[in-house]
Structure 1
Amino acid sequence: MRFKRVMQSVVVGVVALWFSAVAFAGEQPVAIFHSFNEKYADVEKYVCSLAKQGYSHIQIAPAQKSNPAGEWWARYQPVDYSVIEGRGTEQELKRLIVRAHRCKIKVIADVVFNHMASMPEYQDLNYPQFGPEDFHPPCDINYQDGTRDTEVDCWLGGLPDLDLSRKKVRDIHQAHIKKLLKLGIDGFRFDAAKHMSPEIVKSYIDYIDSQSKGKTWNYLEVIEDGDTSAERYNWIAAVTDFLLYNSMKGAFSFGGDLRTLAVPPAVNDPRSVTFGQNHDTIRALNANAINPYNDPADSYLATAYVLARENGTPLVLAQDNLAVPYIKYGVAFRRIMRQRGAEGKGVRENVLAVTNSPTVLVMERGAEGFFVVNKGAEKFDVPTLDLTFTNLEGCYRELRNNFTVAVERRADYKKYVTRWGTWTRGGMEVQARDALYFIREPWEKCK
């Protein structure tokens, strides 16, 4: 699927002042915009708007020559690593990278090294760079047999499985990596990493580190199964956090309880790539979608949640950035919290037990900000909100709607929300199916 339109609106007001910083070389991204299957020339047109929203990185479609079928999955069926073709030429990719760097956006390349294309003309396994000797014999994967032999050595969905123990194969992959680095690529996503042995993946990451002098940020697609856990790979690089995705899917779906996210099951790594949904979990994109949402709006609220957290590296699909207005403000909130944390201010995430509601979640980020999400079909409205046992105190401004909230300590030493938009009301009011982001401001802003 192609996404031809991308939100190019600029976050207004003083929020824009926070966007001047950029992730240092190799630093964990603030948030990654996934341009998915878009052409490089199209991405070049809007990439600078992402910096204004607060993104630090953009992830692009695989660059190598692939199956020419028009569907997105064809990009994940390589034909020839020596040629950049499909989503754009080598020159178009270079122009995208140059423009992104001018706007302080870094570019992550998606690489597919586990397998090759399944096409009639290659049924004898003679590709431009590989021959039959470079592949494992055909066999089926068993995800529950107690070993990882079939996951690593067998064919994924009928795609010819490369024998990565062969130096020739690794050399061809490394040449592709080197070409992308010379073009200016700042990091890599490894597709189907769990179908490659950890030792081989580590050798590729080591090569990237040596060629880039440690300046890239890399992550691995690891979808856990009965034989594979994230811990087999997250010692090498960050991994995709499908554990957290499944936790959020249960909580944000109809009948789920947001209180289960107070301490959600997740990969034990603050670098892990988190997402409300990705291209593998969307039924409209993938007939074999992984635990898809029945209502896409639930996934947008989950995306809002991952953007509010301190931990994780949020990945946001291009279509989701367009879908609802609060997502781009979540990116802005995350950028601001990252910067305030760098200034030595406390921004630890903590889900607060102040509403005791299955449909409303409140998360503080130290005293510097807070996040509220209401997944319910009705407006959440309470006249009094006791925040005594929280870090919140002072004046806060909501980024999207630009209204202020005051948290004050009263004579009884308890803290309450005394202003929600105006001094005529306290407590909290959140519209149905909405998410709000608040940043701390000088007290004068609440007067």
Structure 2
Amino acid sequence: MAMEDIALECERYLAPKGFGGVQVSPPNENVAIHNPSRPWWERYQPVSYKLCTRSGNEDEFRNMVTRCNNVGVRIYVDAVINHMCGNAVSAGTSSTCGSYFNPGSRDFPAVPYSGWDFNDGKCKTSSGDIENYNDATQVRDCRLTGLLDLALEKDYVRSKIAEYMNNLIDIGVAGFRLDASKHMWPGDIKAVLDKLHNLNSNWFPQGSKPFIFQEVIDLGGEPIKSSEYFGNGRVTEFKYGAKLGTVIRKWNGEKMSYLKNWGEGWGFVPSDRALVFVDNHDNQRGHGAGGASILTFWDARLYKMAVGFMLAHPYGFTRVMSSYRWPRNFQNGKDVNDWVGPPNNNGVIKEVTINPDTTCGNDWVCEHRWRQIRNMVAFHNVVDGQPFTNWYDNGSNQVAFGRGNKGFIVFNNDDCFLQLCKLVFLLAHTVMSFLEIKLMAIAQALKSTFLMMAKLNFLLVTLLKIHLLQFMLNLNYKI
């Protein structure tokens, strides 16, 4: 997505609808790959730290950050600091800013980096790439799929990375996703973070530190553990989306009733260390972690339920995906078009157009604009900080729970009607302590997906046969 479109979205939609921030793709110069034609993953092959990509240049980046901050929406940068581009890329100036680079000689003069700044001498595999994920040293000192591995133990490399990140902080970003953190030593990451500036006081309180979340794929069974990175910030909990997808799909006998102890009870990292999500840019394409259980916008009905559950539940720090469509082409079970980059006209990213129903056009999916997800963001904001209460389940795939005395939510993933007797009692128990109910009318619940409640002065809840139940509100709607 172009930076101008992100700035517009902050102003016209994200701020008014209660979204707190945006994670943006890596904003620094990358290889321009033409075979295949401009794949999405070229953004993860840097050649310099200049702010210049197909999404926009430095002036456009600064404009986006300023406009988003001015309406209270923070920018979080996906920072690629583990590596530079692939070793097989040809030397030249085929990059988004036109800078010269030569991967073969490890020459990146626009930084500058040279052969001294890479881990070639430390890696002990014959190929120079990671060959065994049960060897923690290999995972951190060798190349990830051929990407030139930076020597982060060297203060010069740490300083160049910190210089890049500090430039972004001074512009006004609020924090960073650290790509491929599993492939860096935790101590090296800490050494870089220790060099970072405080956040820009034009938008943040004096002395504020950047929000850090690290991409660490830890599904168990390997020596590298997410817990090694807790001292640096939050970590991505990849088990979250994989397990939730299995439950919502009802695979392997899983049921929503099993979600009563969702979170640490499922072997996840502590809530205050977790960054959680249903899908991300990798695993919605079958890359990364999670496998076939991952729910995406292609599975719209189940996906809305999963995102709704995530936003209703108190575990972790939540992130909602916003995607684009591409022409999937499955051959032997694999999408051979999983590389396709964002919607474009001859390489120029298409504008994000807005349809009359407020969804996006031009092949932008914009899940964050889906009515159901938008409403659950509002619910999430209302119940923030409230305890998990009044769990109900039918022993199968009908569940409900409260969030203190501010919210109550119901999910029905069964192929039968929802039984309301106990549910009405729990719902009333949730609202009676804070709300003078002048009228509550509950009709028969048919095949509903979920109902959400928030704090109102006057309440009328009606369950109808619609895909996603929302609040039926009077004119005095206050949350």
Partner of 1:159: 147
Does structure 1 residue 291 correspond to structure 2 residue 306?
no
Whether the 8 Å contact between 1:238 and 1:273 is mirrored in structure 2 is yes
CA distance in structure 2 between the partners assigned to 1:239 and 1:254 by the alignment: 27
CA distance in structure 2 between the partners assigned to 1:195 and 1:302 by the alignment: 29
Percent identical residues: 23
Partner of 1:331: 377
**TM-score, structure 2 as length reference:** 0.72
Query: How many Å apart are 1:215 and its aligned residue?
Result: 3.4
Change (3 A) 1:194 1:288: closer
Query: How many Å apart are 1:445 and its aligned residue?
Result: 6.2
Partner of 1:5: none
Query: How many Å apart are 1:333 and its aligned residue?
Result: 0.8
Query: How many Å apart are 1:393 and its aligned residue?
Result: 3.5
Partner of 2:240: 244
Query: How many Å apart are 1:177 and its aligned residue?
Result: 0.8
Whether the 8 Å contact between 2:283 and 2:290 is mirrored in structure 1 is yes
CA distance in structure 1 between the partners assigned to 2:194 and 2:118 by the alignment: 23
Q: How many residues align?
A: 375
RMSD of aligned Cα (Å): 2.8
CA distance in structure 1 between the partners assigned to 2:233 and 2:256 by the alignment: 30
Does structure 1 residue 363 correspond to structure 2 residue 327?
no
Mind listing any 5+ residue stretches in structure 2 that lack a counterpart? 92-102, 121-126, 201-206, 324-365, 462-473, 475-479
- Higher RCO, 1 or 2 (CA under 8 Å, sep at least 6)? 1
* SS of equivalent to 1:185: coil
CA distance in structure 1 between the partners assigned to 2:370 and 2:416 by the alignment: 18
Partner of 2:136: 148
Q: How does 1:207-286 map to 2 (within 5 A)?
A: 207-208=195-196, 210=198, 213-225=207-219, 226-255=222-251, 256-264=254-262, 265=266, 266-283=268-285, 286=286
**TM-score, structure 1 as length reference:** 0.76
Partner of 1:310: 314
Q: How does 1:46-445 map to 2 (within 5 A)?
A: 46-48=9-11, 49-69=13-33, 70-118=38-86, 119-121=89-91, 122-128=103-109, 129-137=112-120, 139-142=128-131, 144-145=133-134, 147-208=135-196, 210=198, 213-225=207-219, 226-255=222-251, 256-264=254-262, 265=266, 266-283=268-285, 286=286, 290-293=290-293, 296-297=299-300, 298-319=302-323, 321-322=367-368, 324-338=370-384, 341=385, 347-350=386-389, 352-353=391-392, 355-376=393-414, 378=415, 380-386=417-423, 391-394=429-432, 419=440, 422=441, 425=443, 429=445, 431-432=447-448, 434-442=449-457
Change (3 A) 1:365 1:375: same
Deviations 1:258-278 (A, max 9, x none): 122111212113341111111
Deviations 1:382-420 (A, max 9, x none): 2423565785143999xxxxxxx97x9xxxxxxxxx94x
Query: How many Å apart are 1:110 and its aligned residue?
Result: 1.1
1:56 maps to amino acid: G
Whether the 8 Å contact between 2:241 and 2:294 is mirrored in structure 1 is no
CA distance in structure 2 between the partners assigned to 1:220 and 1:314 by the alignment: 14
Deviations 1:107-129 (A, max 9, x none): 11110010111112223322222
CA distance in structure 1 between the partners assigned to 2:69 and 2:190 by the alignment: 28
Change (3 A) 1:216 1:336: same
Whether the 8 Å contact between 2:217 and 2:238 is mirrored in structure 1 is yes
Deviations 1:55-89 (A, max 9, x none): 11111111110121322211111111134333211
Query: How many Å apart are 1:194 and its aligned residue?
Result: 1.0
* SS of equivalent to 2:375: helix
Whether the 8 Å contact between 2:117 and 2:157 is mirrored in structure 1 is yes
1:50 maps to amino acid: L
Change (3 A) 1:313 1:351: farther
CA distance in structure 2 between the partners assigned to 1:45 and 1:83 by the alignment: 20
* SS of equivalent to 2:165: helix
* SS of equivalent to 1:194: helix
Whether the 8 Å contact between 1:304 and 1:327 is mirrored in structure 2 is yes
Whether the 8 Å contact between 1:351 and 1:361 is mirrored in structure 2 is no
2:224 maps to amino acid: T
Partner of 2:124: none
CA distance in structure 2 between the partners assigned to 1:308 and 1:211 by the alignment: 30
